[in-house]
Amino acid sequence: MNNRRFPQSIKKEMTEYVLYIRSKTGAIERKSSYPIFWCYEWLLPYAHEEPLIGWPESKVFWAREIGPSVGIAPVASTPPD
């Protein structure tokens, strides 16, 4: 992984995401309390948006519409209580 710092102008165009996992039973798990990566607003292959209720983030983008999947969610602007 390249750990170099990004110029501030590039960083402003990027969004922090956190990883979510959905099991085959539909259970959702947030995998980290910290942002795990930066990503431009381009979300492919995470094309299936779903609202999140009861989680710090308000929405998640799944790689698969149904069934087990990996998802990314834009990090909430305020930390959870």
pTM: 0.72
- One DSSP character per residue, the chain reads ---PPPPHHHHHT-EEEEEEEE-TT--EEE--SS--EEE-S--TT--EEEE-SSSSSSEEEESSSSSSEEEEEEPPSS---
Mean pLDDT by 10 residues, the chain (81 residues): 52 76 96 72 80 94 95 73 47
pLDDT at 53: 94
pLDDT at 70: 93
pLDDT at 40: 62
pLDDT at 46: 86
